[in-house]
Amino acid sequence: MVHLTKLFSSSSSSSFQFLSSYMLRFILLLLFVCCKTEGLLKLPPNVSVPAVFVFGDSVVDTGNNNNRTTSFARSNFPPYGRDFQGGIPTGRFSNGKVPSDLIVEELGIKEFLPPYLKPNLQPSDLVTGVCFASGGSGYDPLTSVIEGSIPVSGQLDLFKEYIGKLKGVVGEERAKFILANSLFIVVAGSSDISNTYRTRSLLYDLPSYSDLLLNSASKFLTELNELGARRIAVFSAPPIGCLPFQRTVGGGIEKKCAQRPNNLAQLFNTKLSNLLHSLNRNFPNSRNVFINIYDPLLDIILNYQKYGYKVGDTGCCGTGRIEVAILCNSLDSTCSNVHDYVFWDSFHPTESVYKRLIAPILQKYLYQFK
């Protein structure tokens, strides 16, 4: 691995000049086979997933915002990453792994999904997938402007750049195979509903704002299909009103789930599911699959004790009611036992909750990508 890294680090080295492009591709394929993790999930017959690509927001961002110093949506500082490998904050918005990592781990591809903007990203990382998601992003273009994040349209631009790099590494035919057989994950809408709608509500009611989100989602997913993606898992909006922050600002004295954000999430989810059926008709060789995250997450939040948690309405960081991103920092205390909590900060679940969600979701929906 070290020698291969050195080989790619200097295109002018004699070793690089000696090896043909075919030999490089052969080495990368060997590296891919040798370095795969042991998958925990049994894939359906005749289904292989060579790589995973992730688009969306902070729920799945693995560090693409680290160098966006003007962005509010960053987490590359303590106490984020407290339980990650080595206790190092990497830009993941949780105490440990996020869904992007858990998905590739469950599929046996690799242990972590690196951010595409990682400074020392290796060619071997390109072959098995990367993350394009950016914390604070959303379907609404205004969301990324407010948060200083990479909009979903910008994430598609990065993906186009990635395709060119992939073809240079493995060749055009292999690149087409990887894109056609890989799993594409889209997780967006939370920041739109939680944050941006408060600004938009003067001009949009719930139905019209859900249409705005849907139109943007349609453009994004249509282009993703046109770029060669064939297995696209689109996650629903979660029960936004039950996140600690929304309970704080809209849940009244008793800090109950805020109904308005939940109503908007449910309305959008219904329309998003219908959109995916339409896309499958327009792209008959593709599988655009709606992933219902709303109901299983809501069950954990409302019935947290059933799952072994002690706290379901506040996060582990600080007071647990408002702290998120740069407001959850080294000046804040954190809970002594994160496994007692559903939420890490006022917006994002703990790694433990993500683990409870991801494996059953993959098991439930993977057969639809045959």
What positions carry a catalytic annotation? Answer: 58, 345, 348
Written as six digits, the tokens of 113 are 């999904």
Helix axes 351-365, 294-302, angle to 10 degrees: 140
Residue at token pair 């991103």: 325
Residue 330 contacts residue 79 (beta carbons within 8 Å): yes
Question: Over the Cα atoms of the chain, what is R_g?
Answer: 20
Determine contact, residues 323/317, Cβ cutoff 8 Å: yes
Two tokens, residue 78: 């303590």
Q: Sheet containing 183-187: which strands, arranged edge to edge?
A: 52-56, 183-187, 231-235, 287-291
Q: Give me the sign of the Cα torsion angle 348, 352, 356, 358.
A: positive
Let me know the angle formed at the C-alpha of 136 by 130 and 137, rounded to the nearest 5 degrees: 65
